Chain A
Amino acid sequence: MILPASIADLTLPAVQVAHWHPGLREAVPRHSEVFASSLEGSGAALALAFAGDQLAADQRPWLWVQDKSALRLTGRPYRPGLPRELRHGLIHVAAKTPEDALFALEEGLRCRDFAFVIGELTGNPKALSFTASRRLSLAAEKHGVPLWLVRLDASRDLGSARMRWETRATSSLPPRWNPQAPGAPAWHAELFRARTHPPGEWILCEESEGLVHRPSTKSVRTCLEKMPVQAELVEAHA
């Protein structure tokens, strides 16, 4: 694709234009947000998949904070359904209000013994202002504990998360031995704001070897339509 020089200058510098892909370990920022619907379990599942992808074989405990409505709408973590290597380490906090949930998240981020922290908040509570979000980012970066904050039924408000994803469930690949059954979980994930990576869309799939990107013709086509500048990168990766 040939671009006018003026537009080429306006695009992101070369270091930043490294596309995100599963398996990035070091360069991933510490604070991410995942926007999802409360009608499906995809938000927390994708956050867990990201955590498993980024921190493979970390045996330390981890924290899962839910506020009251997130608990009511999407249910409690169920140990037999968690990924096998994460089962023994879960510490769950059922917070009554978003303020308590934010307090628990920040305390969790300050603790050196946690591998990562997952939060689930519903809607756009007043307590989760830009300042509160910035506090979380700073705590996560200072202590090096990654945070994935799942935002259920929330609009894309102001936030200081370094990567902001929007996700929804998508149909899984049929399993090999029973094509009528639901397969390994798959999600459509859109990275709509990030500091170090350009935005993009992925079909992510939790396979036995970990989180993988499953290229589908549909997703590549939408990328082509929406982001003409970065379409080549998507295709090259696919």
Chain B
Amino acid sequence: MSARTPRRILAIWLARLAIDRWRLAAGEGADSAPLALITETAHGPRIAAANAAGLEAGACPGMMLADARALCPALAVAPSDPAGDLAFLESVALWAQRWGPWSAIDPPDGLIVDVTGAAHLFGGEARLLADARALLARRGLTARLAIAPTAGAAWALTHHGPESAIFHPDDSLDQLPVAALRLDPDILLLLRRLGLRQIGDLSGIARDALARRFRTARAPAANPLVRLDQLLGRVPEPLLPVVAHDMPLVQRRLMEPIRHRALLDRVLGDLAEDMARVLEGLGLGTRRLELGLWKVDGEVLLRRLEMAAASRDSAHIAGLFARKLDDLDAGFGIEQVRLRSPWTEPMPLLQSDLEAAAEMHGTSLAACIDRLTVRLGTEAVRRPVPHASHIPERAQRWQAPLQPEATSQGELAFHARPLKLLDRAEPIAVLYASPDGLPRRFRWRGQVHEVARAEGPERIAPEWWRERSSVRLRDYYRIEDDAGRRYWIYRAGLAGDGRGGMPEWFLQGLCG
């Protein structure tokens, strides 16, 4: 967007969100008596919000319930529901897109709508605000509104400005208190102790002095300078928009409850085909599927499935679920089957495979991985990826086979590494050692090995930033015994390093 048309942001502060939600559920009559919503804390119930009668009776948010009961014994309580409040806020954020194409939530109780270039549709910004106020009041929500060029300024005006403020770029926010900068409480306390009460006081101070004072504060909520820049639009403030998603869902209600597996497989095949058609229409492929089976006796059975790559192959989906239905107890019968896909990924339409011989050419990699993980579990099918560590067993990690490999530093080929690494290094008993400390003869798994040739030591020190100080260093040797077997052994520690007794020897890897 060019500099000539500054953005216009509508901020909505649902100041009494929790109480409004409770009132919408409980009814107007219950609101006349003092009430508080409480959260359970380690020190007992604490008030999260109170209605108007409750506030008048002396119950403030943040107070212990016992203290509030001492002031007002008639105070009624109900549990607060922060997760429900957040879900409600998300739905209101979608609803608020009637005033602008883009909205975001500002937890716990704020909304941001971008109304740039949209106000004239309502007859100007003042009328847009009036419309929003009327609609929010009709929904029974207490709200304060403001329009400003930045999200920070709009937030400041809703919380600390006049009712329904419209802010123009040449207006001044200097009269607002510093709390309008969205700072943490301890920073606000610090500013108050410094005698800075209004935003205007901050602009009176030299910028580099502020930068030096708060140079260690990285988070915007702890740095007044960053917040001031965001307020004035000097630095961008990214916000995550709320986007509506609908979950692809197909279901079948059955006339007769089914009790037999063959019929269920048939229904499942039909559902998988329906789902494939729905997904094809949306240009999506599914990554996760949930199958719900409603039984006549009122129970619901759920089966979940996750795919290695996006797919909408109905035969593949039905085949994967078939394995998960082996332990199913149909009871008196299943009357409804529903298949939904909570996780989808874009998957372009492809021309169907015209070559009939492709059927004979085997499965694709993703289908093969799916079949393996359904039977063996996700932990059993993995691939090794390098990890930044010089301790051998930490230098590789395991991840899902089709997940992309993270970029990492190239491996230096100075030292040979064994082909296989034992999960736990096995101790070996040294029967005879040469003067330099390398074993000449050792016993491992009941067999005596005579060391014919050796290369080493390769000293690998412990990672002191990760481990305790008593971990010993390791001296690795690559050895070959008299029969030609090649092993990778190490000595843990040195004699007299003060981290335990005599050094011990371990066999960690088998070379080719």
Q: Say yes or no for A75: interface residue by CB 8 A criterion.
A: yes
A41 in contact with B418 given A91-B383, A169-B484 (CB within 8 Å): yes
Q: Say yes or no for B512: interface residue by CB 8 A criterion.
A: yes
Determine if A181 and B454 form an interchain contact, defined as CB atoms under 8 angstroms apart: yes
* Closest-CB distance, A238 to chain B (whole angstroms): 20
Q: Report A-chain residues with C-beta under 8 Å of the C-beta of B486.
A: 40-41, 169, 172, 182, 185
* Closest-CB distance, A119 to chain B (whole angstroms): 13
Determine if B423 and A182 form an interchain contact, defined as CB atoms under 8 angstroms apart: no
Determine if B384 and A95 form an interchain contact, defined as CB atoms under 8 angstroms apart: no
Determine if A182 and B453 form an interchain contact, defined as CB atoms under 8 angstroms apart: yes
Among the listed B372, B395, B455, B512, which residue makes an inter-chain contact with A180, where contact means beta carbons less than 8 Å apart?
B455
Chain A 40-52 per-residue mask, 1 if CB under 8 angstroms from chain B, else 0: 1110111011000
**Among residues 149 to 202 in chain A, which have CB atoms less than 8 Å away from a CB atom of chain B?**
168-172, 174, 178, 180-182, 185-186, 188
Among the listed A79, A81, A90, which residue makes an inter-chain contact with B511, where contact means beta carbons less than 8 Å apart?
A81
Total inter-chain residue pairs, C-beta < 8 Å: 171
Q: Say yes or no for A233: interface residue by CB 8 A criterion.
A: no
* Closest-CB distance, B249 to chain A (whole angstroms): 31
Q: Say yes or no for A100: interface residue by CB 8 A criterion.
A: yes
Determine if B375 and A111 form an interchain contact, defined as CB atoms under 8 angstroms apart: no
Among the listed B395, B418, B480, which residue makes an inter-chain contact with A171, where contact means beta carbons less than 8 Å apart?
B480
A112 in contact with B364 given A169-B483, A185-B511 (CB within 8 Å): yes
Q: How far is the CA of A222 from the CA of B403 in the complex (A)?
A: 50
Determine if B382 and A92 form an interchain contact, defined as CB atoms under 8 angstroms apart: yes
**Range of interface residues on B (Cβ < 8 Å):** 35 or more
Q: Say yes or no for B380: interface residue by CB 8 A criterion.
A: yes
Q: How far is the CA of A143 from the CA of B361 in the complex (A)?
A: 6
Q: Say yes or no for A108: interface residue by CB 8 A criterion.
A: yes
Which residue on A lies nearest to B366, using beta carbons? A113
* Closest-CB distance, A94 to chain B (whole angstroms): 5
Among the listed A75, A95, A103, A143, which residue makes an inter-chain contact with B509, where contact means beta carbons less than 8 Å apart?
A75
Q: Say yes or no for A71: interface residue by CB 8 A criterion.
A: yes
Among the listed B361, B364, B376, B510, which residue makes an inter-chain contact with A93, where contact means beta carbons less than 8 Å apart?
B376
Q: Say yes or no for B254: interface residue by CB 8 A criterion.
A: no
Determine if A110 and B483 form an interchain contact, defined as CB atoms under 8 angstroms apart: no
Determine if A111 and B364 form an interchain contact, defined as CB atoms under 8 angstroms apart: yes
Q: Report B-chain residues with C-beta under 8 Å of the C-beta of A20.
A: none
**Among residues 228 to 258 in chain B, which have CB atoms less than 8 Å away from a CB atom of chain A?**
none
Determine if A182 and B381 form an interchain contact, defined as CB atoms under 8 angstroms apart: no
Among the listed A39, A94, A174, which residue makes an inter-chain contact with B485, where contact means beta carbons less than 8 Å apart?
A39
A104 in contact with B376 given A41-B419, A80-B395 (CB within 8 Å): yes
* Closest-CB distance, A90 to chain B (whole angstroms): 6
**Among residues 360 to 403 in chain B, which have CB atoms less than 8 Å away from a CB atom of chain A?**
361-365, 367-369, 371-372, 375-376, 379-386, 392, 395-396, 398, 401
Determine if B362 and A104 form an interchain contact, defined as CB atoms under 8 angstroms apart: no
- The secondary-structure label for the interface of chain A is mixed
Determine if B361 and A77 form an interchain contact, defined as CB atoms under 8 angstroms apart: no
Determine if A80 and B411 form an interchain contact, defined as CB atoms under 8 angstroms apart: yes
Most buried by B among A94, A108, A178: A94
Q: Say yes or no for A126: interface residue by CB 8 A criterion.
A: no
Q: Say yes or no for B271: interface residue by CB 8 A criterion.
A: no
* Closest-CB distance, A203 to chain B (whole angstroms): 10
Q: Say yes or no for B81: interface residue by CB 8 A criterion.
A: no
Determine if B363 and A111 form an interchain contact, defined as CB atoms under 8 angstroms apart: yes
Q: How far is the CA of A181 from the CA of B457 in the complex (A)?
A: 11
Determine if A77 and B376 form an interchain contact, defined as CB atoms under 8 angstroms apart: no
Determine if B420 and A169 form an interchain contact, defined as CB atoms under 8 angstroms apart: no
A111 in contact with B362 given A81-B419, A182-B486, A182-B511 (CB within 8 Å): yes
Chain A 69-84 per-residue mask, 1 if CB under 8 angstroms from chain B, else 0: 0011011111111100
Q: Say yes or no for A33: interface residue by CB 8 A criterion.
A: no
Q: Report A-chain residues with C-beta under 8 Å of the C-beta of B395.
A: 79-80
Q: Report A-chain residues with C-beta under 8 Å of the C-beta of B369.
A: 91
Determine if B375 and A100 form an interchain contact, defined as CB atoms under 8 angstroms apart: yes
Q: Report B-chain residues with C-beta under 8 Å of the C-beta of A74.
A: 420, 422, 510
Which residue on B lies nearest to A145, using beta carbons? B362
A93 in contact with B512 given A41-B486, A182-B453 (CB within 8 Å): no
A180 in contact with B445 given A41-B419, A75-B423 (CB within 8 Å): no
* Closest-CB distance, B309 to chain A (whole angstroms): 11
Q: How far is the CA of A199 from the CA of B69 in the complex (A)?
A: 94
Q: Report A-chain residues with C-beta under 8 Å of the C-beta of B483.
A: 168-171
Chain B 297-331 per-residue mask, 1 if CB under 8 angstroms from chain A, else 0: 00000000000000000000000000000000000
A41 in contact with B405 given A92-B384, A107-B368, A168-B483 (CB within 8 Å): no
Determine if A39 and B447 form an interchain contact, defined as CB atoms under 8 angstroms apart: yes
A41 in contact with B511 given A78-B420, A182-B480 (CB within 8 Å): yes
* Closest-CB distance, A82 to chain B (whole angstroms): 7
Most buried by B among A45, A90, A181, A182: A182
Determine if A78 and B372 form an interchain contact, defined as CB atoms under 8 angstroms apart: no
A110 in contact with B363 given A39-B447, A75-B510, A182-B455 (CB within 8 Å): yes
Among the listed A71, A96, A107, A108, which residue makes an inter-chain contact with B423, where contact means beta carbons less than 8 Å apart?
A71
If A41-B419, A74-B422, A182-B478 are given as contacts, then 4 extra A-B residue pairs at C-beta distance below 8 Å, sorted by A number, are: A46-B512, A79-B386, A81-B417, A93-B380
Question: Can you sample 26 A-B contacts with CB below 8 Å?
Answer: A40-B486, A41-B418, A44-B420, A74-B420, A74-B510, A75-B421, A75-B423, A77-B420, A80-B392, A81-B416, A93-B376, A95-B376, A103-B376, A104-B376, A112-B361, A113-B364, A113-B365, A143-B361, A171-B484, A180-B453, A180-B454, A181-B455, A182-B511, A185-B511, A186-B484, A206-B512
In the A-B complex, the 7 residue pairs with the closest CB atoms: A45-B512, A41-B510, A181-B455, A113-B365, A112-B362, A182-B480, A111-B368
Chain B residues close to A by CB (< 8 Å): 361-365, 367-369, 371-372, 375-376, 379-386, 392, 395-396, 398, 401, 405, 411, 416-423, 445, 447, 452-455, 478-480, 482-486, 509-512
